[in-house]
Amino acid sequence: MDCDLCTSQKVDSDYYFCAECDRNYHKECVESPLDISYPYHVQQSFQLYFSHKRSEHCITCRKKLWGMVYYSALCDIFMHIHCAQATIPFLIDHPKKHDHTLTLFPRQACLACNV
C-alpha cells in the first residue's frame, strides 16, 4: 500500500485510512513531529517538508526523495521519514564482511557539511 504522505510502499507498517478521500497514510508519517534532531547532525534540526522534486537524495539511504521528508536548511540536506525514525545499531556483527564485532562511534560534526 502506498502512503500519500511519503509516497513509499511499506507493507509492515500500521496505517490510517481516510474513507472520504480514499487515501492511506503510514502511522509513523501521520505522527511524525514537525521538527527533529538527528544523532549525526546534533547542531541543527530537520523540519518536515514536502519535496516536489525527485532530484534530492536521502543522506542516510542515498535513495531519491519524493513526498513528505525531513529537511535541514542549514546544510541543504534531506532524509526520508522512515530513515529518520530508524534505530541506529551501535554494535554490528558481520562475520562475512569482518572477523570482529564493529562498534559505531558517532562523529560530533555533520558528515555532509562538518557543522
Average pLDDT over residues 69-87: 87
Q: What's the whole-number mean pLDDT along residues 80-88?
A: 82
In the DSSP assignment, the letter for residue 57 is B
Closest among 40, 43, 7, 50 to 25, alpha carbons compared: 7
Residue closest to 80 by CA, chosen among 6, 26, 1, 27: 6
Please tell me which residue, 27 or 96, carries the higher pLDDT value.
Answer: 27
Domains of the chain from N-terminus onward: 32-103 (3.30.60)
Q: For the whole model, what pTM was predicted? A: 0.69
Return d(Cα 9, Cα 84) in angstroms, integer: 16
